[in-house]
Amino acid sequence: MNQETLLVGLAGVLAAAAPIIFAVLGETLSERAGVINLSMNGTILLTAMSGFAVAYTTDSLLLGFLAGMVIGALVALVVAFASITLKQSQVAIGFVLALTCRDLAYFLGNPFMGVSGPRLQAMPIPALSAIPIIGPLFFRQELSTYISYIVIFLAWLWIFRTRPGLMLQGIGEKPAAAYIRGANVNVMRYVYTVIGGALIGLAGPTYSLGVRAGWMGTISGLDGIGWIALSITIFGGWNPARAAFGSYLFAFLQWLGLVLQPVLTQVPSQVLQVAPFPLMILTLLLVNIGDAEWVERTLAAMPETTRKFMAKLLRAMRASPPAALGVPFERD
């Protein structure tokens, strides 16, 4: 493989990761506030379809992306209402929405199947795109890819560097402590769930108006992306930088699968494409195993120095979710 194709391939990885990044960061924001939005898989499909449909009908890419964000926000609003106001199980409501939105996408998208519509074009950035290697890699992308770079940075900046972002961390960690510091916990949870939903809703049009332009119904190949994004959220440890790394890693592994296919003719492409999954399970295992009771008991039986070392090791590996994730907040 020469350098040219390698660069094109890697640039493709950056583009393919963009929608995943939107979804993962949207979920990260929502979960940082304490709300799991499990509807993601359905939301991505529904927004991909509706984004494409709107862009096709109005011939406006902007309206297509906007439609995706609005629908993503609306679905998230249902999750927020059911879990925050009605105190129903976030898992149940999210799961049902995941399935319903998926079927709704297939149902409503029927007339748009296979039609060719508008799509984003590559937008090389003057000057920057001329830089060797870096230029073709980063700066000859579609607009959505540039936006994904910005969103990673903004999300990271917001969570870790701004005042409201600090409060967001607090709300997901210990709502009571955030409350005594002046946060209106439940209102903020609504706000972040809806904003997160809008970001997830950006993922769909990024597929249907860019990375995988068009709407192909059940063979769009988008079913499952949302579940992948959920695992990457955990892998990312609720940190936008680590989450972006996870998204790129995933997109890279998928690309690698395609590249290796001619070499490994024995292995069907679908197998290579799910190769990240056993890895993902292994990662989740490593970040979670410290919580298991048998580990605790085994540790107690060890001599003091080993105990301290092991405890430290497990602690370093683990990615702690926001402590109040999924826990309703009441003032008293």
Instruction: Indicate the SS3 state at residue 289.
Output: helix
Nearest to 229, CA basis, from 260, 201, 188: 201
Q: Which is nearer to another protein, 68 or 175 (CB)?
A: 175
Give least dist CB 169 to another protein, A: 6
Q: Which of 226, 261, 275 is nearest to 75 (CA)?
A: 226
Q: Which of 7, 236, 19, 251 is nearest to 145 (CA)?
A: 19
The residue (of 5 and 89) whose beta carbon lies closer to another protein is: 89
By CB under 8 A, what part of segment 6-65 binds another protein? 38
For residues 33 and 171, the answer to whether their CB atoms sit within 8 Å is yes
- Residue from 291, 306, 327, 330 in contact with another protein (CB under 8 A): 291
Pick between residue 181 and residue 309 the one whose CB is nearest to another protein: 181
Contact letters for another protein, residues 248-287 (x by CB under 8 A): ------------------xxx-xx-xx--xx-xx--xx--
State in angstroms the smallest separation of the CB of 7 from another protein. 29
What does the per-residue mask of binding to another protein show for 67-106, with x meaning CB under 8 A?
Answer: -----------x---x--xxxx--xxx-xxx-xxxxxx-x
Q: Is 332 in the site for another protein (CB under 8 A)?
A: yes
Residue 175: both structure tokens together: 């709502």
Q: Which of 151, 198, 222, 234 binds another protein (CB under 8 A)?
A: 234
Cα–Cα distance for residue pair 15/11, rounded to 1 Å: 6
We find the least distance from the C-beta atom of residue 173 to another protein, in angstroms, to be 5
Q: Is 107 in the site for another protein (CB under 8 A)?
A: yes
Residues 6+ apart with CB under 8 A from 208: 48, 49, 51, 52, 64, 214, 215, 220
Position among 128, 181, 309, 313 found at the interface with another protein (CB under 8 A): 181
Tokens representing residue 46 in the block:
């529904």
Q: Which is nearer to another protein, 175 or 210 (CB)?
A: 175
Helix (H, G, I), strand (E, B) or coil at 238: coil
Residues 118-157 that bind another protein (CB under 8 A): none
Q: Give the nearest distance from C-beta 70 to another protein in angstroms.
A: 16
Helix or strand run (H / E) with residue 52: helix 40-58
Closer CB to another protein, 102 or 140, in the complex: 102
Is residue 306 close enough to count as binding another protein by CB under 8 A?
no
Compute the least distance from the CB of residue 117 to another protein, in Å: 18
Return the HEC string of 87-155: CCCHHHHHHHHHHHHHHHHHHHCHHHCCCCCCCCCECCCCCHHHCCCHHHHHCCCEHHHHHHHHHHHHH
Q: How far is the CB of 314 from another protein (least distance, A)?
A: 10
